[in-house]
Structure 1
Amino acid sequence: MSWTITAGDIPGLARGAAVLGTGGGGDPYIGALLATQALRAHGDVTVVGLDELPDDAVVLTVAMMGAPTVMVEKLPSLDEVTAPVHALGAYLRRPVTHIACAEVGGVNSTIPIAAAAALGLPLLDADGMGRAFPELQMVLPTLSGITASPLAFSDEKGNVGVLHTVDNGWTERIARVACVEMGCSVMISGFSMSGVQAREALVPDSLSLCVEIGRTIASARDEKVDPVDAVVALLGGRELFAGKVVDVQRATTTGFARGRARIDGADASLELSFQNEHLIAELDGRALATTPDLIMVLEHDTGEPITTEALRYGQRVRVISAPSDERWHSAEALAMVGPGYFGYELPAHRFDGSVDAIEEAAA
């Protein structure tokens, strides 16, 4: 069933998206500002479910590519957000009918809202991951054989390009170089899909879940109950650790925000490793959770999500985990998003505590 996103919905949706962003996806406040501006200027956005999508639809994803830390200082405009869609529509010589989120995390849940509002197009209640990942090819459409290219990109200076590559890995490699040269953040549009392809490849009801997470946190605060516990219950997750941030090492390199954070508890320490998003959570050297499952950091009392670029010494936090879409645990998917891909010599741990055999063998 279709529903409508208004400017009043954005704060809660952005908060939920920041939770599912697993630490990455950019500052939710910036994305919320951009979406609110677009909605007030161009009107509300209609959100449609995958089951309502016509078979012959032309769906394009819209996203920010680059280091989330950079976007804080290099704010995008609506023209920058819509330019890749215009360029790609002209390249495809077909009218674009729907906008979709490449990932459900952080600003890449709110930037597509801005694009849909400014373009007057409906937005899908779906995304390509069910979470956030740092590289362009790391989406479920890749597993379904859907190509990222032709991929259009734009920057704040007015540069616009369309890239055609042999596969999604090469799209990431070439687009990342362009992204770094263009200031470490660009707007992109790609993964052209029909309605049939979108229903097969995307994660359904993603934006609805963002809204529900935001409402859950707000309601828990109003009712004086624990918002972190409420989020854990909603996501079918678990709490991994609680403590104080005592060290953060972070650097922006090759278009990514990479680093580690240490959280000290009463008698143990948890280390988080991230590349835009949290990838590994280790308790005194023992892995508690790994990519592709979700690892999220929430403020201890309020349940407010904390992104990797917002982690600071002295924060009291709780680290939670939740299962990813089951498709991410296939052998092909783990080769693309498992710990081994990011250079960690340990197997992928499923949320249920088991170890994926393919990653165990690789480790």
Structure 2
Amino acid sequence: MIITEQMIDDIALGATVLGTGGGGDPYSGALMAKVAIATAKQPVRMIPLEEVQDDWMTVPSSMIGAPTVAVEKLNSKDQMLVAFEAMEKALGTEVAATFPIEVGGFNSLIPILVAAQKNIPVIDCDAMGRAFPEAQMVTFFLDDLPSAPNTLADERGNVVTLYPIDGIWSEKFARPITEQMGGSAAMCDYPMHGKNLKRSALPATLTQAMKIGEAIRLANDNNQSGTQAVLDIVGGHTIISGKIVDIQRETDGGFATGGVVIEKLAQFEDTGVENVFVQFQNELLLAHKGTSRADMNQDNLLASTPDLISILDHETGKPITTEQLRYGQRIDLIAYPCDPKWRTDKGIEVAGPSYFGYTVEYQTIEQLKSALKR
């Protein structure tokens, strides 16, 4: 499948939904991807996971850092290529194909830049099925695949190559290096042969993002609900339709962290939920009844990581990233199920609420919805 400008726009929109507030700015990512395919020597292809050969060397292409930084510090068009070619040097071989490490906004489009420059395909897969804030929160870590080597590059040309023993140590090393690189860096990790990629990656996630983006676009063209168009594809439900009445945000430790208070719109159905507080660390991670973090408890829980939480514009259904949240926005807060790999014991240990310091236990959104009116 040849990647077109319309595909890029649809992937950017849909991946921003799946990015649950994180994954970087889709607008700048789409612009860079369009320039990349326009100037590429050959058309850039997206191939399904099953077409990957067992002996291919594959490497994901991504950015690491706080999304708020990338809004002001635009990435160099060659920055990702520097990290990618540093990975080839560390491996001592050429890479046959690339793919996104996560399906989220900017990071879904980064592989297109590399593919255009290296004349290699983009694989229709990722390692999260959404966006997560830390390097070990990937299916590859769940499946005990090695993270090393890692390469990081900044816009100045600085390159760092790491050999961490696993994804946890990759995060511990890469995050402070990213801070020294200005809060945002290009990163390659988890190089692997196609045989392991096909065993561990989540297939067709770029296609899913494209379908979501197309559904939102068509819903708006036909004066239909963009939010419902999204839910028809991802499942799940609307937690609340409301107005943002408070937003707390700071950049700390290489992350954008904070919370947002949503007050129910008068016409929203009576579910017993008047106000919702959503907490984020780059991505939206937990939603509960109330107006502050102090209201968080098991009885008030409405949705939590690793299930997906997205904020959509109430009128259009278009996703709003954490750095774009503003007072007074009318929004729909939706929750929908994660890939089954994240609902395993190890998945919950790696990316569940307790990992982020939340004093609640994970419950599926299905369980929480059924208990909502009790």
Tell me the TM-score normalised to structure 2 length: 0.92
SS of equivalent to 1:61: strand
Matching residue of 2:181: 182
Matching residue of 2:362: 348
SS of equivalent to 2:191: strand
User: 1:192-239 CA deviation, whole Å, 9 max, x = no partner?
Assistant: 111111111111001111110111001111121111111111111211
Matching residue of 1:329: 343
2:133 & 2:255 partners in 1: Cα distance?
7
Matches within 5 A, 1:30-49: 30-42=28-40, 43-49=42-48
User: 1:226-274 CA deviation, whole Å, 9 max, x = no partner?
Assistant: 1111111111121111110000000000100000000001471011000
SS of equivalent to 1:353: helix
Structure 1 position 287, deviation (Å): 0.9
* Contact 1:78-1:115 within 8 A present in 2 as well: no
* Contact 2:153-2:159 within 8 A present in 1 as well: yes
* Contact 2:216-2:230 within 8 A present in 1 as well: yes
1:282 & 1:131 partners in 2: Cα distance?
20
Q: Does the alignment pair 1:131 with 2:130?
A: yes
Matching residue of 1:282: 288
SS of equivalent to 2:367: coil
Letter in 2 for 1:205: A
SS of equivalent to 1:249: strand
Structure 1 position 11, deviation (Å): 1.4
Letter in 2 for 1:77: S
* Contact 1:237-1:323 within 8 A present in 2 as well: yes
1:352 & 1:270 partners in 2: Cα distance?
18
Query: Could you tell me the percent identity over the aligned residues?
Result: 41
Stretches of structure 2 lacking an aligned partner (at least 5 in a row): 267-272, 370-374
Letter in 2 for 1:309: E
Matching residue of 1:170: 169
Letter in 2 for 1:81: M
Structure 1 runs, 4 residues or longer, greater than 4 Å off:
none
2:58 & 2:3 partners in 1: Cα distance?
19
Structure 1 position 117, deviation (Å): 1.2
Matching residue of 1:273: 279
Letter in 1 for 2:88: G
SS of equivalent to 2:239: strand
1:309 & 1:147 partners in 2: Cα distance?
32
Structure 1 position 147, deviation (Å): 1.7
Matches within 5 A, 1:238-257: 238-257=237-256
Matches within 5 A, 1:288-327: 288-327=302-341
Q: Does the alignment pair 1:20 with 2:18?
A: yes
Letter in 1 for 2:145: I
2:166 & 2:8 partners in 1: Cα distance?
35
Tell me the TM-score normalised to structure 1 length: 0.95
SS of equivalent to 2:171: helix
Matches within 5 A, 1:88-127: 88-127=87-126
Letter in 2 for 1:21: G
Matching residue of 1:358: none
1:70 & 1:248 partners in 2: Cα distance?
18
Structure 1 position 78, deviation (Å): 2.2
* Contact 1:7-1:44 within 8 A present in 2 as well: no
Structure 1 position 159, deviation (Å): 0.2
Structure 1 position 354, deviation (Å): 6.0
1:21 & 1:57 partners in 2: Cα distance?
28
Letter in 2 for 1:193: M
Q: Does the alignment pair 1:339 with 2:337?
A: no
Structure 1 position 98, deviation (Å): 0.6
* Contact 2:142-2:346 within 8 A present in 1 as well: yes
Structure 1 position 169, deviation (Å): 0.6
| Mean CA deviation greater in 208-217 or 31-40 | 31-40
SS of equivalent to 1:44: coil
SS of equivalent to 1:186: strand
Letter in 2 for 1:180: E
RMSD: 1.2
Structure 1 position 44, deviation (Å): 3.1
User: 1:133-152 CA deviation, whole Å, 9 max, x = no partner?
Assistant: 00011000011111221001
SS of equivalent to 1:96: coil
1:262 & 1:236 partners in 2: Cα distance?
24
2:179 & 2:43 partners in 1: Cα distance?
34
1:195 & 1:11 partners in 2: Cα distance?
28
SS of equivalent to 1:162: strand
2:314 & 2:185 partners in 1: Cα distance?
33
